[in-house]
Structure 1
Amino acid sequence: MSIGYRELASVLRSRIEDGTYPRDATGTLPKHQELADEFTVNVKTIRQAVRLLEAEGLVTVVRRRGTVIRRQPAMKRLGAERYAKSKWKFGLVAFAADREASGRAWAPGDQSNRVRLVEADPEVAAALGLPVGAPVYERARLVREEGVPTHALTSFYRPDHVEGTPLVNPAPGPAGHGGGFAVLTIQGFEPDAITESLHARMPTPDEARELQLPVGEPVVVLRRMTTTLDGQVVEFARGVHAATRFEWSYNFKIPE
């Protein structure tokens, strides 16, 4: 009796979990035809099984590489610790803090960068205290790990805060030594407090394409507002994170 795709997915899942197919930087499943020959099924059955594993976040089909096994555990996405002044004042940007906390390598080129002057939409305008349609700088980044996108983050700034600074330089990578928070500090707008909100939803077609998401994987949407000691908003950011590629970690004292 021929094995079905669900049973086949269970076998492949077990092999991933027991290390038969290693979860390292180069780990992949055997080629579809090799699996079809081993289990005496057609390639269509292999594809169906792989799609199940994709939906679980265990593998990703990457063009010209094959079926890549995702590294586990997911990368830690730190809470307050990722924004510690002791990090960015000495050159460690937030996404790199996450990588180091997870024991992962990183390079400035892991982050792309697109900067442009746009009109503030209602949400951005309300956050920055500007009229709708007022000019703001939009700084959009796509962050990758080993070539695979992990999240997209877009920050918005008032032009009078960042004009002529590294924050409006479109070069790939962080905005200079220490990233955007270091730049704002030099400008006299040192970040002092951050409010973040999170919610999960299914991705839009554009988000799924940009983050190379398998069918069925949700995203975690982040909104971040950064203020100075006197309460002035100096950055509003929106992020979209692949849900299975992060473990969100928070460490805090319990309020009285």
Structure 2
Amino acid sequence: MKRLGVERYAKSKWKFSGLVAFAADREASGRKWSLTDQTQKVRMVEADPEVAEAFGLQEGAPVYERARLVKEGDSPTHTLTSYYRPEDVEGTPLVDPTPGPAGRGGGFAVLTLQGLEPHSMAETVYARMPTPDEAELLELPSGEPVMILQRRTFTRDGQLVEFARGVHAASRFAWSYTFEIPD
């Protein structure tokens, strides 16, 4: 699976075409996708140390957790768990547990309607061995590593509106990035 880098988050994809990031990846890979390729579990949880640090909250503060499992056919490809401040997403499709994206354009479109349009992101990607639960969920063969994606999504004024962690089967993805070189 080709995993687009910066291009997967293009506003033209989610704002105008209604595509979410995993669907953009599928299309770039020449593969079909459907709304049922993504399951999700939404719940209010206590912020762990990493989530609390990202949002500048106290550890244990309430946050919404939106955990998704993405599949291609019957095969799981990755997980993505996003965290949000309750005041940013309460009553929106982001806290609706219905399988599939959070409506046309997904979470970024929802945040935009809340006056929190995503403007910039910071991503970190690294490899590690999976936990036993991750290996089982992603149906990994013994010894296969995973790629971890950490994403922070900010508004134009620098407000963090989403912190996300993804776990990807390493043998099922290649990341591609195209961007302008800063001065």
TM-score normalised by the chain length of structure 2: 0.98
Report SS of the residue matched to 1:89: helix
Letter in 1 for 2:3: R
Match of 2:7 in 1: 81
Structure 2 CA distance for aligned equivalents of residues 194 and 107 of structure 1: 26
Which whole-Å CA distance do the structure 2 matches of 1:78 and 1:214 have between them? 25
CA distance in 2, matches of 1:255, 1:165: 36
Deviation per CA, 1:48-75: give whole Å up to 9, x if none: xxxxxxxxxxxxxxxxxxxxxxxxxxx1
Separation of aligned partners in 1, 2:87 and 2:181: 38
Cα deviation, 1:29-55, whole Å, max 9, x if unaligned, reads xxxxxxxxxxxxxxxxxxxxxxxxxxx
List aligned pairs for 1:86-235, cutoff 5 A.
86-90=12-16, 91-235=18-162
2:71, 2:148 → 1: CA distance? 17
Query: Cα RMSD over matched residues?
Result: 0.7
Counterparts of 1:223 and 1:149, CA distance in 2: 19
Map Cα deviations across residues 230-254 of structure 1 (whole Å, 9 max, x no partner). 0000000000000010111111223
Task: Output one character per residue of 1:187-232: Cα deviation in whole Å (capped at 9) or x when no partner.
Answer: 0000000000011011110000000000111000110000000000
- Equivalent pairs counted in the alignment come to 182
* Bigger relative contact order (CA 8 A; separation at least 6): 2
For residues 52-106 of structure 1, the C-alpha deviation after alignment (integer angstroms, 9 at most, x for no partner) is xxxxxxxxxxxxxxxxxxxxxxx10000000000010121100000000000000
1:196 match: secondary structure: strand
CA distance in 2, matches of 1:227, 1:248: 22
Q: What SS is found at the alignment partner of 1:207? A: helix
Aligned to 2:181: 254
Gaps of 5+ in 1: 1-74
Distance in 2 (alpha carbons) for counterparts of 1:255 and 1:176? 34
CA deviations 1:136-163 (Å, max 9, x no partner) are 0000000000210000000000000000
Structure with more helix by fraction: 1
Mapping of residues 30-109 of structure 1, within 5 Å: 75-90=1-16, 91-109=18-36
- Which structure 1 residue ranges, 4+ long, deviate > 3 Å from structure 2? none
Is the partner of 1:100 in helix, strand or coil?
Answer: helix
**d(CA) in 1 for partners of 2:154 and 2:131?**
30
**Which amino acid in structure 1 is aligned with residue 87 of structure 2?**
D
Structure with higher strand content? 2
TM-score, L = length of structure 1? 0.70
